[in-house]
Amino acid sequence: MERVMMKGNEALAEGAIRAGCRYFFGYPITPQNEIPEYMARRLPEVGGVFLQAESEVSAINMVYGAGGAGGRVLTSSSSPGISLKQEGISYIAGAQVPCVIVNVARGGPGLGGLNPSQSDYFQATKGGGHGDYRLLVYAPGNAQEMVDLIGLAFDKAEEYRNPVMILSDAIMGQMMEPVALPAMRTETTEKPWATTGKQGRSKPNIINSLGLVGEDLERINIELQAKYARLAAAEVRYETDGTGEADLIVVAYGTSSRVVRSAINRLRQEGKKVGLFRPITLWPFPKEALASLAAEGKRFLVVEMSAGQLVEDVILAVNDRAKVSFFGKLNGTVPTVREVYDRILSSLPEGGEG
């Protein structure tokens, strides 16, 4: 298949269009502006709607409406903007409306900076908004996965009637890489629940997240938890590279996983046995795969661009069966290959003489 060079943000946007996305609502913020810019140009060409809202809060509620009416709808933002959207995301999760939300993360807290960061991991995977809800969260590791995972995200959002998040970061968004684009998809899913008019039915479809009577809300939550259990059982994705024979397994996603890969390649040339475990779904987290590697007696090192968020899930997954060390870079800095190389070397058993 022919490959073209695209920025991660543009690859994601074109991937969304080809997956049948026809509605985009958003508000500008660096470093994700290439997504709305691309959608503004491209959506009218395919008969879609691009709308720049007056705020992130408006945009996410437009997503709620368009998704409720059965549209394939996307919004994107970066960390502070994603925080503003959290109320809407909770409502969308409660109302079981499919949509895709992209976070091209930057450093925080607060307004923070424009540099890449992975400090929104907790927000993406543990809630962010109020209530017992879950998002399916994908973390692309290259431009091709931007295309592939955004397509999958729309399918899974509709299959489970649940919001799906793509957690990217500034480097993933700004970097150009070769991508092979899929053909434009035209098929649509049946959405008998969507608010598209009664169309001869006796009862109207209603989309809301309200459960005022206690038993109603309990029933809704039981239904949601059953759905999340199905999701957790079926949708885990991860990549392993050399974990079988490794003395040490480095766990990293997104940009961190790229730096780790360079460091591991250097170490392997020196005869060291180091593996990479890269979660592709951050929720559901690939805890069983990590648990069985821990049972084999592996050691782990978690590398992330945060003060330590992913590492908590790794510790929970291995549950005292393995040693887990941590290397985090705080907001705005990306670990260098040399830093990660040194840290892996000092984490190897017998001080690195593997």
Partner 1 sequence: MTHEMVCAGFGGQGVMLIGQLLAYGGMLEGKEVTWFPSYGPEMRGGTANCSVVISDQPVGSPIVAEPDGLIAMNGPSLMRFKGVVKPGGVIVYNASLIEELPEQPAGVRLFAVATNELAQEIGNDKVGNMVALGAFLGLSKVVGLASVEAALEKVLPERRHHLIPLNISALRRGWALTEG
Distances (CA, A) of 192 to 23, 121, 224: 20, 34, 19
How many residues in total does the chain contain? 354
Per DSSP bridges, beta strands 274-279 and 238-241 are antiparallel
- Nearer to partner 1 by Cβ, of 158 and 169: the residue is 169
Which of 38, 33, 31 has the alpha carbon at shortest distance from 16?
A: 38
First-to-last CA distance in the chain?
41
Closest distance between partner 1 and the C-beta of residue 240, in Å? 14
Amino acid at 318: V
- Nearer to partner 1 by Cβ, of 195 and 240: the residue is 240
CB-side neighbour CA atoms (13 Å) of 304: 26
Closest distance between partner 1 and the C-beta of residue 337, in Å? 5
How far apart CA 266 and CA 339 sit, in angstroms, is 12
How far apart CA 289 and CA 314 sit, in angstroms, is 11
Which of 131, 207, 143 has the alpha carbon at shortest distance from 179?
A: 143
- For residues 46 and 62, the answer to whether their CB atoms sit within 8 Å is no
- Nearer to partner 1 by Cβ, of 159 and 177: the residue is 177
330 φ, ψ (degrees, to nearest 5): -80, 165
Closest distance between partner 1 and the C-beta of residue 124, in Å? 22
How far apart CA 127 and CA 123 sit, in angstroms, is 6
Closest distance between partner 1 and the C-beta of residue 176, in Å? 4
- For residues 118 and 334, the answer to whether their CB atoms sit within 8 Å is no
- Nearer to partner 1 by Cβ, of 207 and 337: the residue is 337
How far apart CA 259 and CA 279 sit, in angstroms, is 15
How far apart CA 340 and CA 303 sit, in angstroms, is 8
- Nearer to partner 1 by Cβ, of 43 and 267: the residue is 267
CA 169 and chain centroid, separation: 10
Closest distance between partner 1 and the C-beta of residue 303, in Å? 12
- Nearer to partner 1 by Cβ, of 1 and 212: the residue is 1
Closest distance between partner 1 and the C-beta of residue 76, in Å? 17
- Nearer to partner 1 by Cβ, of 164 and 264: the residue is 264
Closest distance between partner 1 and the C-beta of residue 161, in Å? 35
Q: Where do contacts with partner 1 occur on this chain (CB under 8 A)?
A: 3-5, 30-31, 113-115, 142, 170-171, 174-178, 258-265, 334, 336-338
How far apart CA 327 and CA 107 sit, in angstroms, is 17
- Nearer to partner 1 by Cβ, of 180 and 184: the residue is 180
